[in-house]
Structure formats: structure tokens, C-alpha cells
């Protein structure tokens, strides 16, 4: 019985140490998520403004820009997956990878070869383990992305898009990330960012009708300057949304792990007390039995 008691006490110490780690990670994630939410909110006005500007130029001018033109027979597509660099974030990365696999299957059904670009060590490990080809990867900033990282990713994807498919380029670019809705809800999404989808509609645009812009030097020059910035803003927003979602998922997962550890400690404590009580009862029985034997031997 003493060996069983030692096992329970060792398990209690182990679980308590794990609970301290998960509790610390929960507090760290909770402290960082506020800043991540603020960065998402701060990037929204710029993303909305540049989206309206690009939409206005594309709708008010009659030009065929390479980043707006739909390829007649697309054969290759690039998919950018935004995952995390660290674990203990629940199903955050798994949901993105699952959405990416579904998108990849859909593109292949359309007869396209898919090239994958990865952000985060979890996505890289997932693809390396399955021996899948990777065009490029970026690591180390999933929790705190910067605009320079977004620009580097955007430049790589734009260069691939501007390269002919027969020379190793791509005809479409998609991004799969997790949209931050609230502390409890994060939704994986897949969006096409190139070529831009221009829709004809009679409804008024969000935010009101477009102003009557005057393009200097011309509409084509304005699009040349705006479209790369637009792609950078879309990717940067996806990275920020992913960072906020990752921290929220980590906070929730670590809180659940801490709560489970505390319940497990209570269970092991009850078992240890029961084992200790049984051990004391056995020792008392042995003492009483020994005393009875001595009394019986003395009376003889």
C-alpha cells in the first residue's frame, strides 16, 4: 500500500507542476490578446480605405491590369496558410490546415496544381511530416506579426503571380487564415486575393458611393501603386487576425488544461487519502493482531 501512496503523490506533484505552466501561459496569452485586438482594430480603417480606393479606380476606369485580369485557363494556384509557431492553442492550427486541405482539394478538382506557402512552425511540421512540397515558409512571428513580414510575403506571392505558370509561376493566390470574431469564436476562412474579383452591381458600395477621383498621372499608374499595397494590407490583416485568434485559442486551451489539472489533483488527493487510510487501518490491524497473539501466548 505504501508504494501505491507514493505513486499518487508523485502524480499529484507532476500534475501540479503542469498546472503552473498552463496557468502561466493562460495569463501571458490574456495579457497579449488585448494588444493583438487593438492592432486588428487599428489596421481596419487603412484596409477599408485602400479597398475603397482600389475598388473606385477599378470601377471608374476601363483598363486591364495584370493583377485584375482573370487568367483564361488557370493551371497553377498558390495557397498561403497562416498557422502558429507554438502549440497549446487547441485546434487553432488544425482548423487552418483542415480548411487548407479542403481548398486544395477544390482547386485540384478544377484541374489546377497547388503550390503551398506556409506561415508558422505548425504548418511547416505538418507538411514536412507528410512529405508535401513547400514553395516557401516564414517562421517566428505568428504571435506578433509586423508589416515588414507581410510585405515580404506579399512580394513573394506577387512575383509568383507575375511569373507565367509554365515558368513556375501561379495563376491564382489564395490565403487561409483564422478570422477573430470574439474571445470565444475564431473562424477559419479561405479567400482569393489575386486576381482581384471585380463584381458588377447596382447596389451602393459599403461606406457610400465612390467619390469622383481624378487619376494622376493616370488610372493605370494609380493601380500600379495601389494594388501591391492592397495585397500587403490583406496579408497583414490576415496575419493580425491569426495572431489574435491564436492567443484567444491558447488562453482558452490553457484555462481548460488548468481546470482539468485541478480536478485531476482533487481526484488523486482523494485516492491518496484513501490509500493512506487503508494503510493506517492495515497497520492498526497488524498491531492489534500482534498484541492479541502476545496475550494469547502469555496466557498459555
198 backbone dihedrals φ, ψ, rounded to 5°: -100, 120
- Tell me the Ramachandran region of residue 90: left when phi exceeds 0, alpha when psi lies from -120 to 50, beta otherwise: left
Nearest of 84, 184, 102 to residue 141 by alpha carbon: 84
Per-position pLDDT tens, the chain of length 300: 567 878 888 888 998 898 999 898 888 888 888 888 888 888 878 877 777 777 777 666 566 677 777 778 888 999 999 999 988 888 899 999 999 999 999 999 998 999 999 999 999 999 999 999 999 999 999 888 999 999 999 999 999 988 888 888 898 999 999 998 888 888 999 998 888 765 544 455 555 555 666 767 776 777 777 888 888 988 999 999 999 999 999 999 899 889 998 999 898 888 888 877 877 777 777 777 776 676 776 666
CA distance 281 to 284: 5
Residue 188 pLDDT: 93
User: 22-26 contacts: CB < 8 A, separation 24 or more?
Assistant: 22/88, 22/254, 22/255, 22/257, 22/258, 22/261, 23/254, 23/258, 25/88, 25/250, 25/254, 26/250, 26/251, 26/254, 26/255, 26/258
What pLDDT is recorded for position 176? 95
The residue ranges of every structural domain in the chain are: 2-15+254-299, 26-253
Nearest of 246, 257, 188 to residue 29 by alpha carbon? 246
What is the number of alpha carbons within 13 Å of residue 138 lying toward its C-beta? 22
Cβ atoms 173, 194 nearer than 8 A: yes
**Which pLDDT score is estimated for 240?**
93
Chain centroid, CA 71 distance in Å: 31
Sign of torsion over alpha carbons 104, 105, 110, 112: positive
Partnered with residue 177 across adjacent β-strands are 189
Helices (H), 61-179: 92-109, 121-129, 147-162
Give me the residues paired with residue 172 across strands. Answer: 77
Q: What is the pLDDT of residue 206?
A: 53
Supply 224's cell numbers.
Answer: 500600379
Just give the CATH number of 26-253: 3.40.1380.10
Predicted pLDDT of residue 201: 47
Amino acid at each position: 500500500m505504501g508504494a501505491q501512496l507514493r505513486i499518487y503523490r508523485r502524480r499529484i506533484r507532476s500534475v501540479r507542476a503542469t498546472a503552473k505552466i498552463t496557468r502561466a501561459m493562460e495569463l501571458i496569452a490574456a495579457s497579449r490578446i488585448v494588444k493583438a485586438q487593438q492592432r486588428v482594430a487599428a489596421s481596419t480603417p487603412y484596409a477599408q480605405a485602400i479597398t475603397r480606393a482600389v475598388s473606385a479606380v477599378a470601377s471608374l476606369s476601363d483598363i486591364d491590369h495584370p493583377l485584375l485580369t482573370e487568367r483564361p485557363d488557370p493551371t497553377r494556384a498558390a495557397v498561403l496558410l497562416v498557422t502558429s509557431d507554438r502549440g497549446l492553442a487547441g485546434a487553432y492550427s488544425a482548423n487552418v490546415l483542415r480548411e487548407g486541405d479542403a481548398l486544395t482539394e477544390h482547386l485540384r478538382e478544377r484541374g489546377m496544381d497547388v503550390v503551398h506557402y506556409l506561415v508558422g512552425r505548425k504548418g511547416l511540421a505538418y507538411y514536412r511530416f507528410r512529405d508535401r512540397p513547400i514553395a516557401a515558409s516564414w517562421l517566428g512571428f505568428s504571435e506578433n506579426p509586423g508589416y515588414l513580414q507581410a510585405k515580404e510575403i506579399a512580394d513573394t506571392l506577387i512575383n509568383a503571380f507575375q511569373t507565367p505558370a509554365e515558368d513556375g509561376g501561379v495563376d491564382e493566390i489564395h490565403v487561409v487564415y483564422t478570422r477573430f470574431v470574439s474571445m470565444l469564436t475564431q473562424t477559419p476562412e479561405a479567400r482569393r486575393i489575386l486576381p482581384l474579383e471585380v463584381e458588377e452591381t447596382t447596389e451602393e458600395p459599403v461606406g457610400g458611393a465612390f467619390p469622383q477621383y481624378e487619376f494622376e498621372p493616370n488610372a493605370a499608374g494609380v493601380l500600379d501603386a495601389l494594388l501591391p499595397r492592397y495585397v500587403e494590407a490583406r496579408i497583414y490583416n490576415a496575419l493580425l487576425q491569426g495572431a489574435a485568434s491564436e492567443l484567444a485559442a491558447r488562453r482558452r486551451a490553457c484555462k481548460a488544461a488548468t481546470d482539468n489539472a485541478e480536478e485531476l489533483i482533487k481526484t488523486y488527493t482523494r485516492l491518496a487519502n484513501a490509500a493512506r487510510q487503508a494503510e493506517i487501518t492495515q497497520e492498526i490491524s497488524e498491531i492489534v493482531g500482534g498484541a492479541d497473539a502476545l496475550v494469547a501466548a502469555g496466557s498459555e
